[in-house]
């Protein structure tokens, strides 16, 4: 077997490694912004994040079309890609946990506000379909169920 058949393709894996590193940085920045109560600043990271995600998808498709990591060899570029992917997954897991916790806090806050409104509206009288005034015995609140 000649050396040319067993050589790595650093030019091929290099862009993918850089993309994973950049995505890790973006998600870390998002986590920092959320922890520091600055979610409004996430919007300015969105264009770069979307671009990186599209690039990642394209590069992963190319990698799969070329036979995956097995066809890329077992050299240092593959080890670096695996390590960067593990780092990204770790950062993404922490980010996901934070977003879920913040979502739960927001939902509980909305429910508390809703319960308080119901408590204050409990004595309100309303006109029924027949035109007669009736006490609102079971007021309801509006709830929003949106998945992010």
Q: Where are the domains of the chain?
A: 10-109
Question: Crossing angle for the helix pair 10-35 and 46-65, nearest 10 degrees?
Answer: 150
The percent of residues above 90 in pLDDT, for the chain, comes to 49
Output the six-digit token pair for 40. 């409004």
> Across all residues in the chain, what is the average pLDDT?
81
Tell me the backbone φ, ψ of residue 146, rounded to 5 degrees: -125, 130
Higher pLDDT, 92 or 140: 92
pLDDT band at 143 (very low <50, low <70, confident <90, very high): low
CA distances from 27 to 9, 10, 24, 30, 59 (A): 28, 25, 5, 5, 19
pLDDT band at 56 (very low <50, low <70, confident <90, very high): very high
Rounded to the nearest 5 degrees, what angle is found at the Cα of 90, between the Cα atoms of 146 and 104?
A: 25
133-135 and 125-127 strand pairing? antiparallel
10-109 CATH choice from 3.40.120, 1.10.287, 1.20.58, 1.10.10: 1.20.58
User: Cα(18)–Cα(56) distance, rounded to whole angstroms?
Assistant: 10
Q: For the chain, how big is the Rg over CA atoms in Å? A: 26
């Amino acid at each position: 077997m000649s050396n040319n058949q067993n050589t790595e393709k650093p030019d091929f894996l290099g862009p993918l490694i850089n993309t994973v590193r950049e995505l890790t940085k973006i998600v870390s920045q998002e986590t920092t912004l959320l922890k520091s109560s600055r979610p409004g600043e996430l919007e300015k990271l969105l264009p770069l994040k979307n671009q990186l995600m599209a690039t990642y998808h394209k590069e992963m498709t190319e990698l799969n079309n070329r036979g995956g990591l097995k066809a890329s060899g077992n050299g240092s570029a593959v080890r670096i890609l695996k390590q960067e992917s593990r780092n990204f997954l770790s950062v993404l897991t922490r980010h996901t946990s934070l977003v879920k916790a913040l979502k739960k806090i927001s939902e509980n806050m909305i429910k508390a506000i809703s319960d308080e409104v119901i408590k204050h509206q409990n004595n309100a009288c309303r006109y029924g379909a027949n035109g007669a005034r009736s006490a609102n015995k079971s007021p309801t609140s509006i709830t929003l169920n949106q998945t992010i």
